[in-house]
Structure 1
Amino acid sequence: MSLDNLDIKILQLIQENAQLTIKEISQKINLSMTPTHDRIKRLEHEGIIEKYVTILNRKLLGNPLLVYCSITLDKQQKNHFVEFEEAIKQFPEVIECSIVSGNYDYLIKVIAKDMEAYNDFYQKKLSSLQSVAHISSSFVMSEVKNTTVIPLY
């Protein structure tokens, strides 16, 4: 995989606005529409462009509370990891989940409408998982930076 300057410009543009048309992109990078379209299709085919999404405002949609939870499993066994991961995938409140190194096993990002809703999620879903030994919650007071843009050099 080798990206040239035009590929990088295309990727920067569509990260900022995925609704740009081929015509608009081609005008911005000074390339005709057919080669611009071909480049985008190649980037999609190579998996560099995974998908196009719409980013919604969680606060305006009634989920202003953002919580990061550090999760430690009771045993470092494959079946515990599998059980936890399968359960987490079913919880719509969890918008991100990563296996991490360090003092805990997972870091999850949770959204909720308020503290009561988070507490309900915590007690009825998260802490009820058999494989979970410890949960530490950190409540976001203010977001300093929140972006989906990947830097391209």
Structure 2
Amino acid sequence: MKLDSTDKLLLELLQSDAKQSVKALASQVNLSATAVYERIKQLERNKVIQQYTIQLNTEKIEKEFLSFCMIQLTKHSQAYLLEFESKIKDLNEVLECFHISGTYDYLLKIRVKNITEYRSFMVNKLTDIPHIANTQSAFSINEVKNQAGISLLT
């Protein structure tokens, strides 16, 4: 599916506030509500829009501690990679996991309440996963930018 400028604008608007009514979106893109509704449904059918989500205030839910953990496996066999990826998907503390290039094999984004909870996660959950050779953690001191949306108009 090729996106035109109206599709891109609609996606930008939905990323900034997915709760906007179709009528409000229509007035911003100068189309009828019916036309906007059909465009959104087409974007959903074509998997351009994969899901709608919300962003939580981490202080209010007591998940303020953000860590990035790099994982090195003992060997790069397909079986080890698949086993690691399968097990990491079951850990709720892990928000994101990326298979990366370089010295380390994976980069994890982990969110927990505090350093004590992070230590418990590392000792009781992460290091129980087989084939981990090395880990290195970095902790967020200050959130400078946290943008979930992807710019389409620049």
> How does the TM-score come out when normalised to structure 1?
0.97
Counterpart Cα distance in 2 of 1:83 and 1:124:
18
* 1:45 aligned residue: 45
Distance 1:10 1:115 in 2: 41
The CA distance in 2 between the partners of 1:122 and 1:59, in whole Å, is 22
* Aligned-pair Cα RMSD in Å: 0.9
Residue 68 of structure 1 aligns to a residue whose secondary structure is strand
* Structure 2 unmatched runs, 5+: none
Query: Matched residue of 1:90: which SS?
Result: coil
The one-letter code matched in structure 1 to 2:18 is A
1:21 corresponds in structure 2 to 21
Q: Secondary structure at the match of 1:66?
A: strand
How many positions carry a matched residue from both structures?
153
What's the offset of the Cα at 1:59? Answer: 2.2
TM superposition score normalised by structure 2: 0.96
The Cα shift of 1:145 comes to 0.6
CA distance in 2, matches of 1:38, 1:93: 37
Task: Give the 5 Å matches for 1:3-152.
Answer: 3-152=3-152
Other structure's SS at 2:125 match: helix
Regions of 4+ moved over 3 Å: none
Identical residues among aligned pairs (%): 37
Partner SS for 1:116: helix
